[in-house]
Amino acid sequence: MALIIEVKVMPSSGRNKWVLEENGLLKCFLKSAPERGLANKELIKLIAHAVNLPKTDVYLLSGDKNRNKRIKINRELSYEQFLDLLGIEYQKKVF
């Protein structure tokens, strides 16, 4: 079963970095500018590399021209496992 994630992209950041905010929002800072689809291509490439899949198994479902993206990853993977592959510690709130 595929994993669908929501990511807020921050293009032209001068670095590639993943951040999970306290409210649970996953952010991706990208070096590429949001021109000619460069930031989208970089996002797909980063995700594919992190989960060890070809780029053809990572799809942009929505948000082509928006900072808020929905991504489909064709791999049997939980959200927590995905964050672990990114090097992000995920802690569920108790309250």
Domains of the chain (ranges plus CATH)?
3-86 (3.30.1200.10)
What whole-number distance in Å separates Cα of residue 84 and Cα of residue 82?
A: 5
- Whether residue 33 has pLDDT greater than 80: yes
What whole-number distance in Å separates Cα of residue 14 and Cα of residue 31?
A: 4
- What is the model's pLDDT at position 31? 96
- Whether residue 90 has pLDDT greater than 70: no
Which residue is listed with tokens 């490439």?
45
Structure tokens at 21: 């905010």
Q: Are 48 and 38 in contact (CB under 8 A)?
A: no
* pTM for this model (two decimals): 0.89
- What is the model's pLDDT at position 89? 75
